[in-house]
A and B are shown apart, each in its own frame.
Chain A
């Protein structure tokens, strides 16, 4: 059972990356365009209420891809809107956080202090 659990994480996570690869190769999008598209897709899925079931199903297979960032923000905003109505849509923006972003900022800053860019090819 635990094996199937991991397999689902692998397959769902892999498939989300495949969508990204197709956007890059077939859609000729730059990485920045691709990631932005996926984040917006995550938001929309969250709005439809479909992303949480995906997380329940695939675990990290759905939380690790960048789509979950759109989901986290939207879920937070919707929860606030549910509680406080129209004001909530606005205040929801300040309530929601994503650990991925804060972690990336902190670690990025630390990395800048200790590493030097490498221009080596192999």
Chain B
């Protein structure tokens, strides 16, 4: 379902922070801050996770010259930990109207869509939207303890420690603006391997991107960039192959990029690339926003993908349902 935002809400400011390992990221120089301690000097991983979210929000407020929390109307955010406690705890400190959003790793975009809707309605002047993930707390929940020596296949991805948030407000012609969004449906092509998220999520991305293009009556070449969230190197290849099968030419396929595939560069120790709710968020709300501002891109489609599994559903032998949400951002 495509939503067209007539008032074109703008991204006023962004904040992206990352953990120590993310210094290896090719997007490192675009992040606002990198912390040396994976736990943000807190006692537990989950507290560190919450601290990271708070820091990203503080950076945004500083950038937008907002001194009082209460000037922010809404906080829309999510993460991957059970019941999203890190986000909830960060929201407790922020003390503004808050709805926890969960679309797994697609939360970076789904929260931005809701924030744009609230802005369009006139209900919000400033809304913070985004998502985050912290490697240690996600790995132990979904897979194994971090020090466990399990062998990961080439299709596996590395959950990033990063948070990316955007302050969404009224239209400003000098800033990147959100003109349309697509809320994706849940797609499941029967993938059961939790170490092959790219393969599970690619059909969801394909579905959302093609329906966005169709409803908007656009071609792939209308965009300077179509960036998926965390399909990884192999997932991106699968997505391109799907578009190739529907008749896309090579120059059209070159428009596709994936945040997760590029996140750690060519480093083989991260297998297929990065993943996690913080992966797409930290790249969209740092690198992409800055590229839009400098005018390198005029029109981009950001399509974040999320795998909606839990350790329980996997153990019970269920396949992995996936979703993808997209926003179209333009720069005048």
Decide yes or no whether B38 CB sits under 8 A from chain A: yes
Decide yes or no whether B270 CB sits under 8 A from chain A: yes
Decide yes or no whether B150 CB sits under 8 A from chain A: yes
- Which residues of chain B are within 8 angstroms of A118 by Cβ–Cβ distance? 146-147
State which of B135, B136, B145, B269 has its C-beta within 8 Å of the C-beta of A122: B269
- Which residues of chain B are within 8 angstroms of A119 by Cβ–Cβ distance? 19, 21, 38, 135-136, 139, 146, 161
In contact, B136 and A117 (Cβ under 8 angstroms): yes
Known contacts A117-B145, A119-B135, A119-B136; A31/B21 CB under 8 A? no
In contact, B150 and A31 (Cβ under 8 angstroms): yes
Decide yes or no whether B40 CB sits under 8 A from chain A: no
Q: Mark interface residues in A79-120 (1 if CB within 8 Å of B CB, else 0).
A: 000000000000000000000000000000000000001111
A119 to B36, CA, bound (A): 12
A94 to B197, CA, bound (A): 44
Residue of B nearest to A28 (CB): B193
The number of chain B residues with a CB under 8 A from chain A is 17
Interface size, A (range)? under 10
Decide yes or no whether B67 CB sits under 8 A from chain A: no
In contact, B21 and A121 (Cβ under 8 angstroms): yes
User: Of residues 277 to 315 in B, which have CB atoms within 8 Å of A's CB atoms?
Assistant: none
- Which residues of chain A are within 8 angstroms of B145 by Cβ–Cβ distance? 117
User: Of residues 102 to 147 in B, which have CB atoms within 8 Å of A's CB atoms?
Assistant: 135-136, 139-140, 145-147
Known contacts A24-B151, A31-B150; A120/B21 CB under 8 A? yes
Decide yes or no whether B158 CB sits under 8 A from chain A: yes
In contact, B270 and A121 (Cβ under 8 angstroms): yes
- Which residues of chain A are within 8 angstroms of B136 by Cβ–Cβ distance? 117, 119
A118 to B145, CA, bound (A): 10
A36 to B158, CA, bound (A): 27
- Which residues of chain A are within 8 angstroms of B150 by Cβ–Cβ distance? 31
A31 to B158, CA, bound (A): 19
Give the distance to chain A from B154, nearest Cβ to Cβ, in Å. Answer: 12
The listed residue with most B CB atoms (<10 A of its CB), out of A24, A119, A122, is: A119
A90 to B125, CA, bound (A): 72
Q: Mark interface residues in A1-37 (1 if CB within 8 Å of B CB, else 0).
A: 0000000000000000000000010000001000000
- Which residues of chain A are within 8 angstroms of B151 by Cβ–Cβ distance? 24
- Which residues of chain B are within 8 angstroms of A117 by Cβ–Cβ distance? 136, 140, 145-147
A121 to B38, CA, bound (A): 12
- Which residues of chain A are within 8 angstroms of B21 by Cβ–Cβ distance? 119-121
Q: Mark interface residues in A49-72 (1 if CB within 8 Å of B CB, else 0).
A: 000000000000000000000000
- Which residues of chain B are within 8 angstroms of A31 by Cβ–Cβ distance? 150
A5 to B145, CA, bound (A): 37
A84 to B65, CA, bound (A): 82
Residue of B nearest to A31 (CB): B150
A121 to B25, CA, bound (A): 13
Q: Which residues in B have some Cβ–Cβ distance to A below 8 Å?
A: 19-21, 38, 135-136, 139-140, 145-147, 150-151, 158, 161, 269-270
Q: Which 7 A-B pairs have the closest CB atoms?
A: A119-B136, A117-B146, A119-B135, A119-B38, A119-B146, A121-B269, A122-B269
Known: A119-B21, A119-B146. 15 other contacts (CB 8 A): A117-B140, A117-B145, A117-B146, A118-B146, A118-B147, A119-B19, A119-B135, A119-B136, A119-B161, A120-B21, A121-B21, A121-B158, A121-B269, A121-B270, A122-B269
